[in-house]
Amino acid sequence: MNLRGIQAIYIYEMNRSFRTLIQSLVSPVLSTILYFIVFGAAIGSRMENISNVSYGAFIVPGLIMLTVQMQSVNNASFGIYFPKFIGTTYELLSAPLSFVEIVIGYVGAATTKAFSIGLIILATSYLFVTINIVHPFFMVFFLLLTCISFSLLGFIIGIVSDNFEQLNIAPMLIITPLVFLGGSFYTLDMLPPFWQNFALLNPIVYLISGFRWAFFGIGDVPILTSVFFILLFTSICISIIWYIFKTGYRIKN
Amino acid sequence: MSEIISVKSLVKKYDNDFIAVKNLSLKINQGEIIALLGPNGAGKTTLISTICGLASITSGSITVNGLDVIQDYRKTREIIGLVPQELALEPFEKVINSVKFSRRLFGKKNDNEYIEKLLTKLQLYDKKDNIIKSLSGGMKRRVMIAKALSHNPKILFLDEPTAGVDVELRKDMWNIVKELKNEGVTIILTTHYIEEAEMIADRIGIVNNGELLLVEEKNKLIKRMSIKILKVRLKKPLKKIPQKLAKYKLKLIDDGNSFNYYYNIGKEKTGITSLLSDMNEIGINLFDIQTEETSLEDIFVKIIKD
């Protein structure tokens, strides 16, 4: 295995984030703090507790999920799209690197960034609400798996995109609505029966539910269902990437 | 010289059914400079791309140092450096970081001494901490070469390295290429500039429509294909070439005041003596004589047209 090659891509990507620290770190953290202020402090104080959890605390897992999913997708998609855009993918393809190693480098860096942001947001949330995490190890595991799977998705988007507009279409028009409608700010039983069933078609519901279970021991769906969905999602992304590299789709001539 | 690259019956067909390389076979010797000449779209870059791993192979095989470029891609790519045609660089990165990145991609440990020597050789050392986007086009081209050489490759592919660069930089590039050859690097160069091939290549390959029309040692090719021109200036102008001289296929110019005679220096007899003798026999007096040699460019055009 070309570990130095993987390390080179990983460090290069991480350095890119450090060069754009405001965009990479400050911006998502600030956005999330604003959510805490508006939904947690202002509106949340007038909301009833949900399953004995204050509304301010209740939205923490959803907000973390919202941010890490967007960050994973954005970082990974831009990470691979930018070399495509400026033409430097020739370097990756002509180096003694396997496709798996290239993916580990880019997805690893995107995962690290998103995971770090997730932890920073969690730490920040303690400034606003009191949280006791019921299953801390599972929370870390689930957060990490979410970052990996959405970074894989971002990598696919970066490969498939032909321009910056396409790069933003999936995160803005698909992922954001799904995350907002996936129970970030409410439980499914707060919805009318029809919409409860309809919401179960949204894969993000299972992720937010699983993550919330790790925090408070409560979820919209059984935890094993959430684990199954996150593993299924990760497997689908890996399969698509495997196909892309096997066929050279949008990468090799 | 031992063979370092072997391309056998290579075919590259794109998804749109365009066949960029047609059953092409080529052997490249260790330590030589081979120039691949050909018009745009001839298949030169596609050929390089298949060897370096940028393009898949439809059929045929390629070995580098005796190893298959698909089965043993790690070992074959380790010894190859590639400078593509386009200036493709991360604009916001420092020169030295970009070169170090390339070296690490090839699995090599950082070697500051080697990188600094390389940057010095390419006259980039004083720019090492500059952001790439602040460099001129010529300097960027040098950075591309530095990146390609960062892992100390045995084979260097230069895809039109001097396209769009000024004459001075082009000559600098030629010197760099010659130095690399002296260090034992095998260089495969594609170019539009015949002069470039004439100046630095050991062998010339001519590619057109995805086919390799010929590969030959440069000097032998020039000698074999060289047509010289004998320009004869006459004392009195001619209205037309006399019947007696028809067999020489002369071409009247300057309103009949001169004619050109084309002959091949590779042949045993040039026909000059008999031409002059026949002219004397029918009373055509010459005023002056001069000869001109054909260039590689003339040869190239002739081969492509044929």
Q: CA separation (Å) from B110 to A168, B87, B105?
A: 36, 24, 11
- A135: nearest Cα among A50, A221, A213: A213
Whether residue B162 is predicted with pLDDT greater than 90 in this model: the reply is no
Q: Is A5 on the interface with B (CB under 8 A)?
A: yes
- Of A35 and A116, more confident: A116
- Phi, psi of B255, rounded to the nearest 5 degrees: 55, 35
- Given this model, what pLDDT does residue A188 score? 82
Whether residue A65 is predicted with pLDDT greater than 80 in this model: the reply is yes
- Break chain B into its structural domains and give their ranges: 3-223, 226-305
Whether residue B97 is predicted with pLDDT greater than 90 in this model: the reply is yes
- Given this model, what pLDDT does residue B226 score? 66
Give the pair of three-digit tokens for residue B12.
Answer: 């590259």
Task: Give a yes or no: residue A253 inside a domain.
Answer: no
- B38-83 pLDDT, tens digit per residue, is 888 888 999 999 999 888 899 999 999 999 999 999 999 999 999 9
Whether residue B172 is predicted with pLDDT greater than 90 in this model: the reply is no
Give the pair of three-digit tokens for residue A80.
Answer: 């691979």
| Percent of chain A at pLDDT exceeding 70 | 98
- B123-153 pLDDT, tens digit per residue, is 888 998 999 999 988 888 889 999 999 999 9
- Given this model, what pLDDT does residue A139 score? 93
Whether residue B276 is predicted with pLDDT greater than 70 in this model: the reply is yes
Please give the distance of CA B185 from its chain centroid, rounded to a whole number. Answer: 16
- Given this model, what pLDDT does residue B4 score? 92
CB contact under 8 A, B109 and A96: no
What stretch of H or E contains B155?
Answer: strand B155-159
Q: What is the mean pLDDT of residues B152-181?
A: 84
- A82-107 pLDDT, tens digit per residue, is 998 988 889 999 999 988 899 999 99
- Given this model, what pLDDT does residue B143 score? 92
**Looking at this protein, which amino acid is placed at residue B57?**
I
Whether residue B21 is predicted with pLDDT greater than 80 in this model: the reply is yes
Whether residue B225 is predicted with pLDDT greater than 70 in this model: the reply is no
Q: Is A250 on the interface with B (CB under 8 A)?
A: no
CB contact under 8 A, B52 and A94: yes
Task: Give a yes or no: residue A252 inside a domain.
Answer: no
CB contact under 8 A, B14 and A248: no
Point out which residues pair with B80 in neighbouring strands: B155
pTM score of the predicted model? 0.82
Best to test chain B binding among A17, A84, A90 (most B CBs inside 10 Å) = A90
- Given this model, what pLDDT does residue B17 score? 83
pLDDT band at A253 (very low <50, low <70, confident <90, very high): low
Q: Architecture of domain B226-305 in CATH?
A: 2-Layer Sandwich (3.30)
CB contact under 8 A, B75 and A96: yes
The pairing of beta strand B3-13 with beta strand B19-29: antiparallel
CB contact under 8 A, A90 and B88: yes
Q: Return the minimum-mean-pLDDT range out of A87-96, A189-198, B180-189.
A: A189-198
Neighbours of A104 (CB within 10 A): 20
- Given this model, what pLDDT does residue A34 score? 85
Give the pair of three-digit tokens for residue A152.
Answer: 């894989």
Of A19, A86, A96, the CB nearest to B107: A96
Of B55, B88, B101, the CB nearest to A87: B88
What stretch of H or E contains A123?
Answer: helix A99-125
Across chain A, mean pLDDT equals 86
Task: Give a yes or no: residue A154 inside a domain.
Answer: yes
Q: Return the minimum-mean-pLDDT range out of A176-185, B7-16, B136-145, B201-210.
A: A176-185
- Given this model, what pLDDT does residue B83 score? 92
Instruction: Identify all chain B residues contacting A91, using CB atoms and an 8 Å cutoff.
Output: 88, 102, 105, 147
Full residue range of the structural domain in which residue A202 is found:
3-247
- Given this model, what pLDDT does residue A218 score? 83
ipTM, 2 decimals?
0.83
- Given this model, what pLDDT does residue A132 score? 84
- Given this model, what pLDDT does residue B263 score? 82
| Percent of chain B at pLDDT exceeding 70 | 93
> How close does chain B come to A80, measured CA to CA in Å?
12
Size of interface A-B (CB pairs under 8 A): 72
> What distance in Å separates the CA atoms of residue A40 and residue B177, rounded to the nearest whole number?
66
> What distance in Å separates the CA atoms of residue A173 and residue A32, rounded to the nearest whole number?
20
pLDDT band at B305 (very low <50, low <70, confident <90, very high): low
pLDDT band at A195 (very low <50, low <70, confident <90, very high): confident
Q: Are B263 and B283 in contact (CB under 8 A)?
A: no
Whether residue B121 is predicted with pLDDT greater than 70 in this model: the reply is yes
Whether residue A146 is predicted with pLDDT greater than 80 in this model: the reply is yes
- Of A159 and B221, more confident: A159
CATH 3.40.50.300 applies to domain B3-223: yes
- Given this model, what pLDDT does residue B298 score? 67
CB contact under 8 A, B107 and A87: no
Q: Residue holding tokens 């260090």?
A: B183
* Number of separate domains in chain A: 1
Geometric angle at alpha carbon A12, from A98 and B98, rounded to 5°: 95
Per DSSP, the residues of B50-96 read: HHHTSS--SEEEEEETTEETTTTHHHHHHTEEEE-SS----TTSBHH
- Phi, psi of B172, rounded to the nearest 5 degrees: -60, -45
Max mean pLDDT range (A12-16, A54-58, A172-176, B152-156): B152-156
Whether residue B100 is predicted with pLDDT greater than 90 in this model: the reply is yes
| Percent of chain B at pLDDT exceeding 90 | 35
